[in-house]
Structure 1
Amino acid sequence: MRMKQTMEWALIRRGILSNTLHKPPPQVPLHPNASLEFHPLQISTHLYDSSSGSSSSCYFKPDPDHKQHSLSNSTIGSCFTFASSLNCSSVYPFLTKKDRNYSTVGALTCNGNLGKGEIDCRKELDSEIKGSYHPNFLTKIIDIIVRNEDDMECKLNLIASGLLVKSQVALKWATEIFRVLNVKGVSGLRFFRWLRSMSPEIKRSSIFCSMIIDNCGWLDDYETMAALLIEFRTENVCLARRAFQFIPVFGSNDALLTESVQRVIGVLSEAGGSCYASGIHELVEMFCSFDKFEMAKFVIEISEGKASCYDVLVNEMCRRGRLREALGIIRGMVELGVRCDAKSYNYLLSSLCKIDKMDEAFRVLEEMKGNGVLPNLQTYELFIHSFCSHEKLRRVYQLFDQMVAEGLKPQTKTHAAFVKACFSSERYDEAYKYVVDSSEKYYNSSNTVYSLIASLHMKKGDFGTALKIIIEMMEKDLKPNYAVYKRILRWLLDHGRTDIASDLKSRYAVFKLECPLNVNRNDYG
């Protein structure tokens, strides 16, 4: 009796069962000679209390997304036996907040009173809602997976179906479960397919799908891995770095590592599609992150990697200050006939500009043009920002002329960098002349650049000049930045210039009240 009450109470707590103690039995009782139509989340049966002679009915909540299956009474009975073995402290703490609100919670307690077990469970539930989880719960799930019994999915439904619906919770627990399965050398394929069906949100998750690929790698089961990759390809699923944690990057000789990588690339090549492209890219990134650049090159060479893979290699080398090697990679791309673009060179040029090796950067730029690769907007802006930071404004003008000749227009942040560089060198008149000229050439940036120079004048205490600039831009039908306008208006009112403040208000009232969306507040302090 006590065991049955505990079982029914625990399942109601999970939100899987609904309480119908005071309703007539709705369906067929669980009897050795009875047959039942089984639904993964819907079973109708009776719980009989021999001491009181009363019976109660409980059933699984229906799920329209699942088809009914006919199971034997022994399978159903084993599920109920397993459910009855779960005590309240191992089930209730893992309910979601929504599960906690069921009206049936607390209905099945001894003598109708709140038991000590319930109080303990509710305390554990509160901690679970805050983001923690109980390791005993994961241990039970792992134990079910390891035993790999015929009714494994049924048992998982009983204790975890409603808990792993949300993708964040499912990914967090799946990560821990697969980590243990990999160590134990146990396949997680059935758990993977069960969880994928229970949580549609993670069905195409690259991280989750990568977990089962990694699990196959630990088990050396490349046949299953190939079948899964082909399945993922049809669903356009991409792989994450998580898929290749089984590769022995450390603690193995180069021959073993090379053999492992060749096998993986062979399986990826067989699958093709999104899995192949993303897999090669993630392999290159993984080896670069471990400073295994030679192995990253090997992956690119045997997979005939695209320019994007070479870009990853060049970028990682530049981040680590290995600029000569990065240049060698780019030259190798040209020799192999790999089509590289300005992006490949920009990684190297950016690193050279940051360490103020401008002469060498210009030599790379000339080599880039000699190889038929035209600089893009980002290429020019790398040099312009570097020259502005070192207040070499003459060179900036030359680059502006080259950009205009090639039909490129500077971005707003590039104009802002030049104006700030002029103010840093106290060349205020030159900054003003540049703002006036650029407002005629690049109208889209006029509001921001005009408002910026007014803000810079206010920062150095020259509110009078800032006021003139604001009035000038409004006469050109340019709306000032709202924060700049309010600051000038406040300054006028604080100094008793109410007549000028009224005039400024009337001028600004012509424009719409909302602030312009293309303004970067950081430019105005």
Structure 2
Amino acid sequence: MGSKAKMKWPTNITPSLVQQLMFSEKDLEKAISIFDSATAEYSNGFRHDQSTFGLMIKRFLSANKFMSAEDMLVRMKQEKCGIAEDIFLSIYRAYARVHKPLEVVRIFGKMKEYECEPTAKSYVTVFSVLVNESQLKMAFRFYRYMRQMGIPASVPALNVLIKALCKSSGTMDSAFRIFREMPKRGHIPDSYTYGTLINGLCRAGRNLDAKELLIEMEASGCSPSVVTYTSLIHGFCQVNRLDDAMDLFKEMKSKDVEPNVYTYSSLIDGLCKNGHSLQAMELFERMIRKGLIPNSITYSSLIYGLCKEGKIREAVEILDRMKLQDLKPDAGLYSKIVNGFCEMNKYQEAANFLDEMVLSGITPNRVTWGLHVRIHNRVVQGLCDEGHSNQAFQIYLSLRTRGISVETKTFESLVHCFCKRGDLHKAARIMDEMVIDGCIPDEGTWTSMLDGFWDRRKVREAAELSRAKLLNEFQNTTST
């Protein structure tokens, strides 16, 4: 830290001055230098307190330097500087941000070691992190531990418990029981309580129950949020009740609840799945006019819907807009576009999109692999039918290089195509690779090869092929 010597401090250094300098310094390393240099000369009598230590810890957490933040805790203990609960809460939230719930539990377990007694706020925060990260078994154990430690039930704690029960399988009724008992125990459900239950009901497919709860929510004086409306809209779209979803969309606007990108995306997805891609496009354009930025789900829903209705050109335009937004289409989206062009017998355009997908480094996952194999083989077969043998052969080579299975029909199409063109050496090579792959040529494929050799007056080669064919048939006969 060579910058320590260059730092000039006044005679009386105060915590507020150190904080001000650290706040104004965006570079973390320089902020560390300010923090360290403030106590470089102990003759000035300055020692860090909770405020300066707390700020340094927050700077480390913002940069995901968790070990450095924890080192600060050790230093605070060594310097006998009391550690406030807020510092621990900052660490919990930082670990939660990077989805490390077990680290949150670990730090919580160290609070007493640092002579900081956790309050209900810490307990509820840790409980909430576990539920949000779907660590439900651990969350329920932690809740029981909370009660054993005498942490009283409160609306925030009960809200998290209800959320856990809504996420857990088969416990929606338990969530409702707690909800109904809350007023009896002096706990008034708030908007978050209602919203959590409505979301849980929608996830369970109980959309009508969720709608009734929305009415009850408003009657109790709680205002539904955009998240609550979006949960309901998404739920109705999932069961193809588009009229109900659109009614809710209109209702939220009449109540000055502005739809967000997830609201629009849910409606667009529902419309596209039910053959209303034109209406979905209108919503898409309205969404953009309102300054909302579409996400990958929005684009995917539109592309799938347009392809399903045979509107491939429009789907390609949406794909281009998606790429302009620096969103990377996946293999499933490309497969839809390619398959759409195949349905229109536009195999060269389909092949161009296959090339684009490969050059972009987009690979299928386990779910889309089967579709990936089928569209590649379909494009090769289509190109052969249209006489584009060279382009078909290049894709065939790409299939073999990338370990994508070549179907028997694809081999046969290639052999027929090259025999018709008179390129018998390439046809023979493909047939050899076909046999090596365990695919048995049918009579039509053998006939194509034989006709090709006869046309070229290559009687010897034709005789050898005939003999090979007879031998193959003999072996098949004896094996059965």
TM-score (norm 2): 0.42
TM-score (norm 1): 0.39
Structure with greater proportional helix content? 2
